[in-house]
Amino acid sequence: MEQIIQQKVAELASHVERQLDSEIEKLDNLNIDDIEKLREKRLQEMKKMQQQKQIWLSLGHGEYTELSEEKEFFDTCKKSDKVVCHFYKDGTERCKIVDMHLKVLCKKHIETHFIKLNVEKCPFLTGRLKIKIIPTIALVVDSKTKDYIVGFTDLGNCDDFSTEMLEWRIAHSGAINYNGDLLNPPDVTKMQKKPVSKKTIRGADSDDSDSDY
């Protein structure tokens, strides 16, 4: 068995080496025109990204925005491909913790619109989305609610989770662009101490500190 494994590893290494040699050969064979084309392509990509960034900023991305009424929620989801919406209630300590983290993440992930909505001002929407626990974070992609983060169950059932932990959990829905490891949570030590339930939508397990709405 060990010999077979070593053989497979050697084959893989050889394959990777051949790919690298091929790429190096292509680079070596580039002429001035080819280099100029690559440079122009890169400049166009950068220009396009800058234009997209300006569009996002004009829509309110980069800021953690509070909506005044539920109609704005639907308008926001129509205009932005990715939306993270925190449903909160005044006086709820855990909602304040969520606010703290989302204020950081909205600056980091310009591609996503981070918003918040007071559940007492949107009875129709909370009923439609069956929101019963506060805080609840709705993760919307292409105008469709892909997932919910209900309370802090998926964040280690603790109040001192890191911003990176919430970022990691949001990333599972595709609501942000994420380059990290989705298989391993950042707060791995805390997660090992407190098993995390995979229930995130209606009827999810919740810590006693979460508030019923």
Q: Is the pLDDT of residue 198 over 60?
A: no
Q: Which CATH superfamily is domain 63-191 in?
A: Glutaredoxin (3.40.30.10)
Give tens-digit pLDDT for 179-190.
999 999 998 755
Phi, psi of 155 (to 5 degrees): -110, 15
pTM attached to this predicted model: 0.71
| Non-local CB neighbours of 78 within 8 Å, separated by 6+ positions | 143
Matching residue, tokens 């690559």: 38
Can you tell me the distance from the alpha carbon of 141 to that of 81, in angstroms, rounded to the nearest whole number?
A: 6
Measured CA to CA, the distance from residue 162 to residue 187 in angstroms comes to 7
Radius of gyration of the chain (CA): 22
Give CA separation, 9 vs 18, 195, 197, in Å: 14, 35, 36
Q: Region 141-155: what's the mean pLDDT?
A: 95
CATH 3.40.30.10 domain position(s) in the chain: 63-191
